[in-house]
Amino acid sequence: MLIFRRGRGEKQVPTHIQHLCPPVANNFLLLIFSFNLTWSFYQ
């Protein structure tokens, strides 16, 4: 989760996981990122 809070590292994560499985990884990252934002908002 530390990667999302860094401005530069945010773009590096999807490209690394895209080699494994692009659609699933991107949806999973978006789901985690949105859940992290909503969780910190209601917290």
Query: What pLDDT is stored for residue 34 in this prediction?
Result: 87
Residue 14 pLDDT greater than 50, yes or no: yes
Per-residue pLDDT at 32 exceeds 80 = yes
> Can you give the pLDDT at residue 1?
46
User: What is the average per-residue pLDDT within 12-26?
Assistant: 57
CA angle 26, 23, 31 (to 5 degrees): 35
pLDDT at 20: 56
Share of residues in the chain with pLDDT > 70 (%)? 37
In Å, what is the CA distance from 8 to each residue of 3, 21, 28, 38, 43?
8, 22, 20, 22, 26
pTM greater than the 0.75 cutoff = no
